[in-house]
Copies of this chain bind each other. A is one copy, B any other.
Amino acid sequence: MQTLEAINNRASLKARLSAREVEQGKILKILDAARLAPSARNMQPWRFIVVRGKEQVETLVSRAFSEGNQVAKDAPIIIVACANPNDDIVRDGKEYYLHDVGMAVENLLLAATELGLATHPMTGVNEDELKRILCIPPEIRFVIATPLAYPVTDSYDEATQERLSERTRKNLDELVYHNEWGKSF
């Protein structure tokens, strides 16, 4: 899949996830993609916990995820992205670990898309409970979690088609300025 196609086809699927196992080779490719993201001073603040196993996933989702995110329970895998804020720069009050984990997570989502796997980045969790369950040290912050699963339909394209048809995004002229703020591009 071409990059622009993957960027266009990536969609957040949370319903209709298959319990089918995800091959270890694919998981490694997806994590490797995350690893290759850039970061401020190449500090690579991201850490990932791969939660796998029916019981482990169900415990995590039922106890730590918000009501709207319970569908993640159907996935064979949840990937949790977290970081130590001290492992990145803070500039004028801006904590860049969040930005840099975001770049790594986008790589992960696109790699999954290319490999036919569904994802759905979620922030709605009880962080304290999630950290307790996953034995995450106090200084580490949860950033985002995503199920990683095959869609229940045969093809990723089929499963995402409906989501994509409903996708709403601002137009470029609402987002892009030319040479100064407010000047249309």
Residues 71-126 of A at the B interface (beta carbon under 8 Å)? 89, 91-92, 94-96, 98-107, 109-111, 113-114, 121, 123
Q: Please indicate the chain B residues that have their CB under 8 angstroms from the CB of A53 in the complex.
A: 179
Counted per complex, copies of this chain come to 2
Contact code string A174-185 (vs B, CB < 8 Å = 1, else 0): 011111111001
Smallest CB separation, A168 vs chain B (Å): 7
Asked if residues B36 and A182 are in contact (CB atoms below 8 Å), the reply is no
Docked CA distance A99–B35 (Å): 16
State in angstroms the CA–CA spacing of A178 and B56 once bound together.
11
Whether B31 lies near A172 (C-beta < 8 A) is yes
The answer to the question of A22 belonging to the interface, with a C-beta cut-off of 8 Å to chain B, is no
Interface pair B175/A35, CB less than 8 Å apart: yes
In the complex with contacts A135-B180, A176-B31, A96-B123 CB distance below 8 A: yes
Does the CB pair A135–B50 fall under 8 Å? no
Known contacts being A48-B177, A110-B110, is A2 close to B2, with CB within 8 Å?
A: yes
| CB atoms of B181 and A35 under 8 A apart | no
Q: Chain B nearest CB: distance from A42 CB in Å?
A: 7
A50, B179: Cβ atoms under 8 Å? yes
5 contacts between A and B (CB under 8 A): A49-B179, A51-B179, A52-B178, A94-B141, A135-B181
